[in-house]
Chains A and B, each alone.
Chain A
Amino acid sequence: MKDSFTQSMDWLHTWAGLVFGWLLFAIFLTGTLTVFDKEITYWMQPELHGVRPSPVNLQAAGDQLARLAPRAEEWWIELPHFRTPEVTISWQNPGEKDQGQRKLDPGTGEILTVRDTRGGDFFYRFHYQLHLERLGTWIVGAAALVMLVTLIAGIVIHRRIFKDFFTFRPEASYHRSWLDAHNATGVLLLPFHFVITFTGLVIFWMIYVPGGVDALYGGAFEEMLVEVEERLDRQRADVPAPLNSLAALERQARTHWNGGTTEWVQVKHPGDVHALVDVMRRADDRLALISDRVTFDGTTGEVLKVWKGEKPAFLTYSVLIGLHYLWFDHLTIRWLYFLMGLTGSATIATGLLLWLIKRKEQHAENHKTHRIVEILNVAVIAGLPVAIAGFFWGNRLWPWDLPERATWEMRTFFLLWILCGVHGLLRRDSLRAWKEQLTVAALLFVLLPLLNLMTTSSHIFVTLPAGNWRLASVDLVCFITGTLLFGIAWRTVKASRSLPQAISTPMTEAGHG
C-alpha cells in the first residue's frame, strides 16, 4: 500500500485503531468487569446476603419445580457455589418463549424474593453482544478481528519491541509520553492481548465462520453439537411416571468424576416415563471449559451415558475458550485478569488520545474530524466510567418493586452515557469536558460505599468486620477507582495550564462553523 510493508502496517494500525478504538475500549472495559461478574451480581442483590451457605437440597428444589412447572418440557437446577450461594431453578413450558426462573435457599428450598436486576450479567452481555443480540455479536466479532490485525500491525511497526518497553520519556515532546505509555502497556501485555482477543473469536466460531458445519453437516449446528457432546434425548411417551430421586442421582454422578462438584441438574420431560436426567460437573478446577456429564434414565435411575469430552480438538477448543471465560477458579489469576484487562483498556485509550494529540500538534488549523474524535474520546473514555458508576447507583436507588426494574437499571447506564456524549459535544473546551466528566465519575465511584451504607445493611462497616471480602471488595475497588479518577482529573487541570498552546486551545468556531 505504501512504500514499504512497515509503512502500510503503520497506516493500518493507525486507522483501524481509530475507527474501532472506541468500540474496543468499551468491549475491553466491560470485559474486565465481567471477570468479577458473579461478585458484582451478588453485590447487586442484597436480599441474598443473608443466605446461609449450605449443601444443596435437591429434593426441595425438585419439589418446587414440580409445584411451579409440572408440565414443563425441561427443568434446570443450578447448584450453589461459593461465588453464588443461592440455588436457581428454571423451566421451559411448551409453547412459551421465555423461561421461568426462581431463586431458592440452598438448604430449605424456600423461594427468595430478590430485587430484579441483571447484575454483572449486564456487563457480560454488553461485552460480547452490546445488548444487540446476533447483530451485536457480529459487530463485536468484527472489532475483535480488527484488534488482532492491529496488534500484529503494531508488532510490525515496533521492531525494537523490548527497547520500547523500557523507554518512558515524559520530558520529551508532549505526544511522545503518550506514545510511550501506549507502547509500554501494549508491549507489556502483548501475550494477554493476543490470547484474549483470539480466544474471544474462537468462542463464537459457529456464528462467525461456520464453513465446516456447512460443508459436513449441511449447516445443521444442533446436529454437530449433539454429536460433539454425545447428547441423548428421546420423545415423551405421555405416560406419567414418578421422577427418580434427584439427590441420589446427583450423588451417583459424582462418583464418575475425579472429585469435583456438580453445577447443573437438567431434567427433560419431567413426570413422564421417558424422563432423562443430566447431571453436569462444574468446570472450576480445570482450564478446559468442559462440563463432564452423566445422563440417567429419569424413572429407573439407570446410567445411560457418561461423557467426558476427551477428544483432542475438542479439548484444545475447550482450553482456548476456558482461557477467555475463566471459569477456572483461582483468585490470584482472576485478579490478574482484572488488572490486565484494565491495562489493556488503557492501551486502547492512550492510542485514541495519541491519535488526536499528535495531529493537533502537527496541524495548526482545526479539522472537523479532529473535533469528532475529540468528542468521542471524552464520551467513551470518560463517559463509560460515569455510566458504569451510574449503573451501580441505579441498583441501590430504584424502588424494589418497580416494574421492569432491571430494564430501568440498564436505562440508567445508557442514559448517563448519552448525556456524557452530549456534554462532550456542547463543551468546546475539551480539557474542561475531560475534567468535568472524570470528576463526575470519580464522585459517583467514591460515594458508592456511602450510598451502600445508606441503602443496605451490606455496607463496608458490616462486611469488613465480618471478613466478607467478596462484598467488601466491590465497595473498596469502587472507592479506589474513584480516587484514581480524581487524580487523573486533577492532572487534566494541571495539564491545561502547562500544555503547548496548540493542544490546549479549544476548537474555535472557525474550524468547523
Chain B
Amino acid sequence: MRTRLKGRLNLIEVSHLTKKYGDNIAVNDLSFTVEKGKIYGFLGPNGAGKSTTMNIITGCLAADSGTVKIDGHDIFDEPIEAKRAIGYLPEIPPLYTEMSVYEYLRFVAEAKGVDRGEIEDQIKNVMAETEITDKKKRLIRNLSKGYKQRVGIAQAMLGNPEVIILDEPTVGLDPKQIIGIRELISSLGETHTVILSSHILSEIAEVCDYVLIIAHGNLVASDTIENLSVNYTGKSTIKMIVKAPEGKLRMALDTISEIEEYSFEQPELHPELLNVKITIPRECDIREKLWNTFVEAKCPVLSLETESLSLEDVFLMLTRDPEPDELYEDEEDAAPSAAKACAPTDHIVGAGKRNVDEDGGTDESDDESDEDDGDKYTSLFTISDEDKTDKGGKN
C-alpha cells in the first residue's frame, strides 16, 4: 500500500472555497493543501464549517465557488476519478441498518468498483483491521454505537483510497471505544493519508501530525502541533490581584521592560482591588521583579499566578468570535474555566497521551448527550484528573 503514496505530493488542493446557506456564510474563501502520508486534524468549534468543508471535499455538497482537487482530479469536473481516491465517514455513519455488516461492506466494495476477485480479501482485511470480524453476520441495527462507527470506518477503507476522511469519528463513544478508534486511526495513518475532524483537542494532539484550525468558515491556523505551540504559545500570562489604585499600578508596571502587554479589571465585589493580566515572553520569569516593584510602590499583592498558553488557549484565541452569537456565549462561559485548568506547556504535545487513562471521567459526558452542544464543549476542554486537582487547589 505504501507504494500508492508515491507521485504527486499534494493529495488534496482546496482553493478559495466558499459556501453560503442563505445569508449565512458557512465556509469563507478557504484554501489549504493536504500532503500524502500524514494525519491531518481539522479542528474548530461547532458550526465552524468543518463538516461543510468535508462534505464539499468528498462531493456530497456543492460549493458556491472555489475548487477542490483530489489527486489532480477536480471533484466537480471528474467526480468519479476524484471519489475513487477518497474514503469518507460522515458525522452520522451512513449505514443501512437492515443489512448485515458483511452485506453492507460487500455493497460498498461493489459500488467502489473493487475487482471481483479482490472483494472477499478486502472485506476480510478491513473487518480484521477494524476488529469487526466476529460481528460479520449481525444486522447493523443491532450493533452498539462503537461497532457502528467501526463499520463506518471499515466502509471508508474499502477500495484502498489514498485519503480517508473521518468526520468526528469518536463522538458518542465510551472511553474504551474512543481509545480503540484512536489507535485504529493512528494505524490507518501508516498506510493512508487521514483527515480527521474533531473538537476534542487531546484527540487531535494525540493522533495528528498537522492541525488545521477553522473558525467561522475561515482557516485561522495551519501548522504542525509542535509549531503551533511554539508560534502561538510563545507567551506566558501572569494573573495578579493587587490592592492599589489604577494610576499607581500603571506607573509601577511601566518600569518593567519585559512586559509586553497588560490589562486591568475591577472585580465587582471588591472595588478596592484590581485584577491584572500581564503578558510576557515565555522564557522570562519576572515574578520576583514584579513582587519587588509592587513592594516598593506599596501596593499589596494578594495573589499571583503564572499560566502558559496551551493548545486549548491557542484554539480559543484563534476561534474567538468578534460578534458573539448565541452559540458562542456558551463558549465564552467555558473559556475562563478552561484557561484556569490549563496545564503547564509541556502538556501540549503529550496531552492526549496523558489523558488516555483518565479519559473515562470526562468523555463519558460526551457519550450521554452527543446531540447537546453544551456538553460537546465540556469535552473540548478535556483535562486530566491531575489538572483538575490543580484547579481545585487554586480555587
A binds B: no
